[in-house]
Structure formats: C-alpha cells, structure tokens
A and B are shown apart, each in its own frame.
Chain A
C-alpha cells in the first residue's frame, strides 16, 4: 500500500513538479488562468497558420502579431489577486 504511495506516486508528482504549467493541489484559479492564457498565446505563435489567421484578422504583420502576443503573456490576467481573496 504505502510503498506505492511513496514510490510511484511521488515519482510522478516530482516529474510533474519539474514542468511549468502543471497542476498541484494548491493551484489557484488565478494561476491556472495565467497558464491557460499563456498556453493559448504560445500555441497561436507556434502554429504559423493560426498566426496568419490572427494577423489577417487584425490587419497586422505576422511579426508584429507575434510580438504582441508575446507581450501579452506578461501577466495575461492582470496582477495576482490579494492573498486574503481566497
């Protein structure tokens, strides 16, 4: 019983902890939102077709679009809520 808890699961948990954006028990909604937004922006930047689509819609150059999306990754959901919020 407990050996599994201490081996397999902790290994998985450690593996998860090594990456950004993975969840943990104390993840706040704010954190998750932030990651979700950044993932979205990153995904758009990473897929050229999506980027083209966006830049055509906005009438911007793809380079500019890329830059703006990257800019938006900084605090995409605004500053973190105050601590007592939870």
Chain B
C-alpha cells in the first residue's frame, strides 16, 4: 500500500474525528430547526447524520446520502467533505494530532469494562440461562398477590408437572416442524396441522395461525396475562414457544396483535403477513409504551428527560435483558422517515414466503452491522458512545438515594420509578414500599461501601416487613440483567442470602424463581461464584424444607433442555449436602429408576455424581446406597444414561478412595462386561470408572482386573480421540500404581505398546497430553525401574522435535529424581549423558526443564560423570560466551547446579577455570544473567573454600562492591549471599577498609523489599564486625539510626544486636547507652530497640549487664513517649526471661515497680508489651509477688481498667502458674461454720487489698 493511500485514510479518520468532536462540543442547536423529525430520534448518527458528511469522504457522493454542504460551524471554513480531504492529504502534522484525538476517543478501559460483564465472558452454554423462564409459580402467585402471602402458591405441583409436560410436548412439536421444514414441506402450515392434529389441547389453535403470526399471538398472550413479572421478559423472544404453551393453556382468548420484536429489522418491509393492517406508524410508536407497558421499564425512560422513543425504545424492542447496540436495534418509522427522503420511496410488501427469524440462537447471532445498509464501515465505538452520551444523561445522584458510585444505562429501566421526581404523598403503601426496596437495592448495587452497608442492614432488618414477593420481584430481574458485572452480582447474591435468612419459610413461593437465577452460578467459571451459589441454595433448602425443594425442582429433572437438567442436578446435590444424603436418598432412588423418561434417570444419576464430587469422602456412609441407586443405569437402554452412570461411579469411587470397594461389588460385573460392549465415549466413561475402582481393590483382585482391562486399554492406545487418550493414560497410571500389578507384567505387556503409541512427537505438542504422558510414564517407572524406562527413551533425547525432547527430558528428570541412577549401566550412562548434552545444546528456547534435567541427572550420577566433565564444562564455557543473555544465564545456572558434583569428582582445575571465566563475566549487563553468574561464583566458592578460590577472594570482593549498588533483586540477593559467605569464611583476605566500604553499601540493602536480602545483609554485618572488630561497624550502624526510613532503622537495630552477639555485649552496650543520650526520638527508640533485640539474643548472658542498663530503663519507662515505654517493656521482658533464676530479683523487682504503673495504658501496643513484661516477671519474680500486685486492682471500680489489664494479667497468671498461686492466696480463715459466710470473707479480703 502506498503512502498516499495511508495518508488518505488518516486524513479521513482525522476529518471524522474532528467532526465528531465538533458535534459533541456544540449541542447541535440548529438540528431542531431544520430537521423536524429529528427531535428525539436516536438513530445511528454516525451513519445517517449527514452533517458529518466527512464520514463519506471516500465514498461516491453522487447518490446523495444526505444533503451536502450542511456542515457544522466548525467545518465552515473547510467547506464540504471533499475540501477536507484535499487539505488533509498535504498536512503532515494532522495525523500527529490524530494521535491525541485517538487517545481522547478510545477508552483504554473499554476492553476490561466489557470483560467485567459476566455475560460477555461466558460461553454460549452459560448464556442459555437467559432462555429459562422464571417460573409460572410466580405468575400464579402474582395473580392472587398481596394479602394471601404464603398461600399464594396456588401453583400446585400438579400444575407444574403439567406445565413441564407441555413444554416437552412443545419442544417435540417444534422439532418435528423444524424437521419438516428442512425437508421442504412445512412452509405453508398445511402440513403442520397434521403434526398437531392428534393434540386436542388449546395449543392446536396456535398452529393454525399463519406462520409469521404465531410469535405475535404468543407475545400477546404473555402480555395480556398481565401477571408477568418484570424480569420475565428476558426470554420473551427466546422461549416464546414454551411460554406460549403454558400461557395458551392457561389463558383462553388471546388478542391478535402483532409482535414488534419478532419481525425482521427492516421496518418498511415488515408490514407483514396480513396486508392492510393498521397503519405502521401507530404500531411502531407503541413499541416502548404498549409493548412493555406492564413493566416499569417503559416508564423508566420518560421521567428524567430521555428522548422517549430513542435509546431505550430500542432496548425495549430488542427484548429485555439483551444488550442492544444502538446500531443494531430495529429502526422506528420516525427514524426511517428522518433518514430517507420523503419522495421517491415507497413501502413494499414483504415477499410471500417471508418468515421472521424465530430461533433464539439465530437471533442472537445477528450481525451488529445490520443497520448500516450492507457496505463496509469501520467500527467506531466511540462515535456511538458519544451519541449515547448526548441523548441520555445518566444521573449519579438520585433523590432519596444520594451519590452513587456509578449508574449504568441498563439500571435506568429497573429503577425508573425512583428516578423521576414524583409526589410520593399520593402513592399507596404498597407503591411506597416498592420504591423503598428499589432505593435500598440501588444503594447496595451502585452505592459507596458505607451506603451499601447501611442499606444492606436495612433491607435485612425489614425483610419480613417488605415481604418475599416485592423483594424478589426487584432483586431477581436485576440478577438476570445481561450487563451484570461480578461485583454487582456478588452484592445482589449477598442481599438474597441475608434476606433468605430473615424470610425463612416465607420464601417458599419464590423458590423456583430464585433457583432459576441462582442455579447458573453453580456452573460459573469463577470459583467464588460457585461457592456463593452453593451457599444460597443450601440456605434456601434449609428455609424451604426438603419437601418443597423436591416438589419445586422435580419438574426440571426431566426438562427438555439439557442446560436446565444440568443446573438442576447440581442444585440438587447442594440440597443433598445441606439436608443430608439420607433424607434425599429415597427420592434419588426413585428418580434413577424413573420409567417415564430417560432424562429423569440421567439427571438422577448426575445428581449422585455431583454429590460425590461435592461432598468427597462424606459419601462413605451412604456409599452402598448410592451405588445401588445408580447401578442399574449401566445397563440402561439409553447410551447417555449408561455413560453418565459410569461417570457417576467413577466420581463415587474417587470420592471414596481408598475405602469402600465392597460397595462397588454390584457394579463390577456390568462394568467389565460393559467395556467389551461399548465403543467411543461410552467406553471412555466405563474405563474411567474402572480406573478409579481398581486402586480401591485388594492387590490380587487389582492385578486380575488390571489384566482384564489392559487388553481393552491397549487396544484403545491407538484411538485417535483426544478425550479417550487422556482417559486411557489416566487409567494406565491408576492401574500401574496399584500394589497387585507386577513389574514383569508392566514390562512385558504394557510398556511396548505404551511407548509405541504415546511416546511420540505428537503427544508433546498438546499441553494436557504432555503432562498426562509424563505422569503416566513416571508412574510406570515406579514399577518397571529406571533402566527400563530411561533405556527406552534415551535415544529420543536426540530427536529432532524440540517439544518432544523436552518431554523426554522431563520424564527422565522425574524418573531419575524419584528412583536414583543406580540402575543405569555404563552403556546407558554414556547414552544418557550424550543425549542430555545434545538436547541441552540444541534447545532453541532456554528452558527450565532442560536445566533441571541436566542438574538432576548429573547429581544423581555423582562421581560417575567424571569422564564426561571435561566435555560438559567446555559446553558451559562455550555457552557462557554466547551472544544471547538467556544462554549465558542458563550456563551460569548450570554451573551452580554442577559445582558440588565437579568437586566430588576432584576436578578442581575445572572449577577454577569456571570461576575465572565467571569472574570475567561480572561486567554482565543483564541483571538476571548477572545474578546467575554471581550465584555460580558463590556456589564454586562454597565447594572449594575461600583459600583455594580462584580468582582469589581479595580480587573478587572489591569487584563485588560496586555490584552491590545494583537495584535488581536477584543481583542483590546473589551478591549479598556471596559477600556474607566471604565475610564468614575468608574475611582475613580482604582489608578492613574494603570491608568498611562494603558496610556502607550494605546499609542500602537494609531497605530491600525482599526479606531474604535484608536478613542476609544483617547477618553480613555480624560477620564483618567479627572480622574487623565492632567499633567501626557499630558507629556506622548507630549513625544509621538517624535516617528517616523506618525499615532501615529497624534493620540497623537488628544488625547492632547481631554485632553485639557476635563480638560480645560488652563491646556494644556502652556505645548504645551513650547513643541513647542523644536528644532525638528516633535515635533513642532505635537504641532501645537494639537493646531489646540484644537481650533477646544474648539470653542469660544478660545477667552481667542488667544492672548496667537499669538506669537507662528507668529513664525509658518513665518517659512521656509511649513508644519509649513500649520498647522498654519489651526489653524488660527479654531481660527478665533471660535472667530468671539467676539471682537478679532485686533488679527485677525494681523494674517491675517501674512497669506496673503502665498497666493503665490503653494503646494496644503499649499495653501488649506491658502485659508481656509482667508475664515475664511471673517467671522471674514468681507468681506470688505478681499476684499481690494484681489483687490491688482485680476489682477496680472502673470496668475498663479491669477489662484491659487486671483481669487479663490475672488470667495469664492463673493459667501460667495455677498451682503455684495457691500458697500465695490471701489467707482468709473460716469466720464461722456457717456455710453462708461470704460476707465475712469479703471483709477479710479487704485487709489484703
């Protein structure tokens, strides 16, 4: 593509953006004047608004898409679109401007915002939840509404069952129609009559209608019913069939009215099957009002000044809950009039054979480009967004609710009633209640955390007052909203949870409705969503009771839709875990034996499978019953039932492992005969079941059955089916892992076929296969031995496929790591080393697997690698000088892994050679590589020792000093380890001045984020101080107490304590005490902290210093600063614990007297440290003395004093030394023999306290 074309495109884009910005900035003042019908019409401005004529800059304008020259003010000087293009093509900076325009236009978070929406992430299967109707239960309930309360559940079990039956029949008929249509006969409805002829139900009437009319009739049935819950609309379009069946059965005389949303988008053409109907205009105008009138959503739009037909009108048309892109919704007549010239067009009849799209899945897949007339147009999200922004202003503050965090467009339809300013005094109690609920929900869903919290509490407290009906009528539709996000869903689910708890059995009429909304959570991909779903259903079943749950969910068990059955099975398993398996067992048994439909059996068995998966070993007590309930399913007529039964048994066996084999006795035979009868998916399931049962068996049986099944397995080794492969591998692994299987059998029967079929290049390509093959091979190696397995694969290390080599390497690594290399003979050893070196050298991507493999094998071989070391080391040396930093890094890493073995083989010269080369590499600029190099040097230094180290330590260390400044964590950690090691072992090789230099550098490392680095740095101070004496190091550290950063200071104090520990406390304590005199808070606290660590480290050595520090502690414990006292408390604790029983009670008592007044502190840190110190005093002084202190305040008049300290001290004392307290209890003699002598004793106690 030439530059000029690119420029043209850029120019066009620029022009478009300009125009758009201009359109945004001016509120289009003239649009109302010259375009009458534009008012309130929201159509796709981007396409049809001619004022942005520049959009069509590159189009042929001869067919006037809009009157030319009608530009915005901003474009005036540029005339019409053509001039724009000419101008733009010459100005280079324009496209630079575009960059900024781009940044303005595109919301960088748009993509993530979309992914936050649950519906947009989910698969088509998950989306089937929108197809479910929320239950006739509620319809019936709503009909008799209000005061009936719980009895409102007129929707009896029989009704539900009838409804389910109707739905199934409906589906059957539908399928039959589809089938006929495919055969090309059913188009005119004549044949259709024949299908439904046998049905005498009211449904028949519907089929008599003309094809295009049918959906509309259905629609009207729904609406005229009038009891439809608001949220029920999401499935209007999708499940009309089901709805209609139910509704047609219930309602006698449906009006004939056209359904707007079932027609094809082209409004002009959709006049419809019945020509000469009412004028279109009126029909289109009704869309939002007439069609959705029963729902508050239609009204939602109007009050706060949105354009009435536009925007939300489209929402209404699209079927509720469906996210309708404004460009994708159907155009109204008004819009069409606005965008098409009045003359020259006529409205034509639809063709004779026209039928609107009915199937929901196809409807959903309509392309979003439907509105733009077919030609290619660049997607311009920003444009449509800005258009939306102009036509609708979403409030962030709502009266009676307050400031919300956000308010989405979709929220408007649900919360319409509270958006307008309406006089609420005129409303009835019920309406007020409804609004109150809406406000609370809005606060919870969209509010700030504090708002949310209070609203949640309110709605919980008032739950019974509001009643189940009004609450769930509001909550559940919100949960079915397609644009729902995780956070919103979480909050709404939380509301349900809380409300459920309060409502208890009032919730019964809504069980089905709640289930419809909550069940999808059980198959959500998000773990927490699943947990939430489980919790809700569990609470629901506890509130509603088992009988009600069963009768509610029973109809769904043999529902026609697999999705419904799946979710229902999962929900049932939750019910089982909530109410106990035994209570549900009779029902499950009955369902699993259902004669009526295989779907019921399938679902029943699936329930048991889910129970096993969810409850794990908790199924053990009921295992026999559960297995028996499903056992007959293995010989069911239906393939699907058999497969599910096998999977169920697999799940049960997995849950029961390693117990419960006796429960599976009854299924063993059918399973084993089954594997001979089945093929494909069924066989896979059966094999899976066997794979899980075999490990439960006794060794001899396991051996027998393994041999039986192995024939089939080996046959299936060749299966091309991926799923089968995985299962076969898994079963082989499970069989091989059992005790009874003999090594000879594995070697003779399994291995040849296994290696032939699975250790092939193709298996290494898929990640899951790869893992499975590795695991299975390692398991087989446990039986067959290292030599057998490694011998078979070793030549594949030189295979030409790299992923395959990697897989082989991983197998060898794991096998050798697990079983050692003793079995490997000399020949194999040669092959192995050769293969490993080859594959290591040949890797194109540096891989951890190769590195680990090399290290593991060489370490396992130990001294046996000596002959190969020269070769290996030369490989390393070669790769250390490679161009790629990754290769160098890997070579260095390998060096650290091999250092020990090289030393074992006494190849010191090789080590020193490596050391020198690595030393030369210290100029490395890639930090990851540099870190590895330093680590390698450290590894070498470790094994050869500081004296033999080459390069000599005195050269190495100065080279490290500047590297310490490197900010990279890996480098820091590696170098501090090396330096610490040198300071520990070879400090004498380096001058004291160099060490001091390093000390200063180390101070910086005290700020490191990684704890390991800080710890290593602190320890290094200790080593250095030992090497060069504490004075200088100490002064460095004490000076460092003055710095700002807390972490640095804290680490310094630790370092001081370590220095004191290594060099003797007498070298440090005077300095610390001296430093304490500094009139600076941080320094003094630092000194105290250092002493605290110091006394902790030196333990009983503290007895020599206790008197030296007492004065300092006196000062600290009487300081005004809380932190002083707190730290001093810690010092006293460590001191007392260290010197307990060493004859320093005088000092202890003195300190105790200083500590004691602090028990009145309230700050948790201070009081905590004081309580600790007193606890330590219990050890040092004995419990009796402390008890005397405590008794003074055990009944202190201030409760807070008793609560915060005295009762706690007493309790700790009592728990720590209960028996020892007895002699110290105040002596209270029996004042009389009268047993009721409490008064007298109380008086006596007063002498003591």
Chain A residues within CB distance 8 Å of chain B:
1-2, 4-5, 8-9, 12-13, 15-16, 19, 21-27, 29-30, 32-33, 36, 39-40, 43, 46, 75, 77-79, 81
Contact = CB atoms under 8 A, between A and B. Distances in A.
B23 interface: no
B1195 interface: yes
B967 to A, nearest CB: 32
B1050 to A, nearest CB: 18
Contacts of A23: 1194, 1206-1208, 1210-1211, 1214
21 contacts: A16-B1211, A19-B1214, A21-B1218, A22-B1210, A23-B1207, A23-B1210, A24-B1211, A25-B1203, A25-B1207, A27-B1194, A29-B1245, A32-B1194, A33-B1238, A33-B1241, A39-B1222, A43-B1219, A46-B1219, A77-B1238, A77-B1241, A78-B1234, A81-B1239
Contact of A13 (B1194, B1208, B1214, B1245): B1208
Contact of B1222 (A33, A40, A81): A40
Given A19-B1215, A23-B1214, A40-B1222, 19 more contacts: A1-B1163, A4-B1164, A4-B1168, A5-B1164, A12-B1208, A12-B1212, A16-B1212, A21-B1218, A23-B1211, A25-B1199, A25-B1203, A25-B1207, A29-B1195, A30-B1238, A39-B1221, A43-B1219, A43-B1222, A46-B1219, A78-B1235
A39 B1225 contact: yes
B1004 interface: no
Contact of B1218 (A1, A5, A39, A77): A39
Interface string B1212-1249: 10110011011001001000001111110110010000
A78 B1236 contact: yes
B1164 A1 contact: yes
Contacts of B1165: 1, 4
Contacts of A26: 1199
For the complex, would chain B's binding face be called helix, strand, loop or mixed by DSSP majority?
helix
Contacts of B1238: 30, 33, 77-78, 81
Contacts of A1: 1163-1165
B1207 A79 contact: no
Contacts of B1221: 39
Interface string B1180-1200: 000000000000001100010
B464 interface: no
Contact of A8 (B1164, B1218, B1219): B1164
A9 B1171 CA distance: 11
A27 B1222 contact: no
A21 B1212 CA distance: 11
A9 B1164 contact: yes
Nearest to B1220: A43
Contact of A77 (B1199, B1215, B1237): B1237
Contacts of A21: 1214, 1218
B1222 A22 contact: no
Q: Which 10 A-B pairs have the closest CB atoms?
A: A25-B1203, A78-B1236, A22-B1211, A16-B1211, A4-B1164, A23-B1210, A23-B1207, A43-B1222, A25-B1202, A78-B1235
Contacts of B1228: 33
Contacts of A27: 1194, 1207
Interface of B: 1163-1165, 1168, 1194-1195, 1199, 1202-1203, 1206-1208, 1210-1212, 1214-1215, 1218-1219, 1221-1222, 1225, 1228, 1234-1239, 1241-1242, 1245
A40 to B, nearest CB: 5
Nearest to B1202: A25
A23 B1234 CA distance: 27
Contact of A2 (B1164, B1218, B1239): B1164
A47 B1222 CA distance: 12
Nearest to A22: B1211
A21 B1194 CA distance: 14
Contacts of A12: 1208, 1212
Contacts of B1199: 25-26
B685 to A, nearest CB: 50
A21 B1221 CA distance: 12
Nearest to B1222: A43
Contacts of A43: 1219, 1222
B645 to A, nearest CB: 49
Contacts of B1241: 33, 77
A60 to B, nearest CB: 18
A22 B1214 contact: yes
Most B Cβ at <10 Å: residue of A8, A15, A30, A77: A77
Contact of A16 (B1194, B1202, B1208, B1218): B1208
A13 B1206 CA distance: 12
Nearest to A41: B1222
B1207 A78 contact: no
Nearest to A25: B1203
Contacts of B1237: 77-78
Contacts of A40: 1222, 1225
Contacts of A32: 1194
Contacts of B1203: 25
A59 B1207 CA distance: 40
A41 B1 CA distance: 102
A15 B1171 CA distance: 15
Contacts of B1163: 1
Contacts of A2: 1164
Contacts of B1215: 15-16, 19, 22
Most A Cβ at <10 Å: residue of B1206, B1218, B1222, B1235: B1222
Contacts of A75: 1235
Contacts of B1234: 78
A16 B1218 CA distance: 13
Contacts of A77: 1237-1238, 1241
B92 to A, nearest CB: 60
Nearest to B1214: A22
A10 B907 CA distance: 61
B629 to A, nearest CB: 44
Contacts of A78: 1234-1238
A24 B1199 CA distance: 10
A69 to B, nearest CB: 13
B1227 to A, nearest CB: 10
Contacts of B1225: 36, 39-40
Nearest to B1223: A43
A75 B1199 CA distance: 27
Contacts of B1242: 29, 33
B724 to A, nearest CB: 53
Most A Cβ at <10 Å: residue of B1210, B1211, B1234, B1237: B1211
A24 B1194 CA distance: 9
A9 to B, nearest CB: 6
Contacts of B1195: 29
A8 B1168 contact: yes
B1160 to A, nearest CB: 15
Nearest to A75: B1235
A43 B1221 CA distance: 10
Contacts of A25: 1199, 1202-1203, 1207
Nearest to B1208: A12
Nearest to B1171: A12
Contacts of A79: 1235-1236
Contacts of B1212: 12, 16
Contacts of A81: 1238-1239
A65 to B, nearest CB: 17
Contacts of B1210: 22-23
Contacts of B1168: 4, 8-9
A71 to B, nearest CB: 12
Contacts of A16: 1208, 1211-1212, 1215
Nearest to B1210: A23
Contacts of B1236: 78-79
Nearest to A6: B1164
A24 B1207 contact: yes
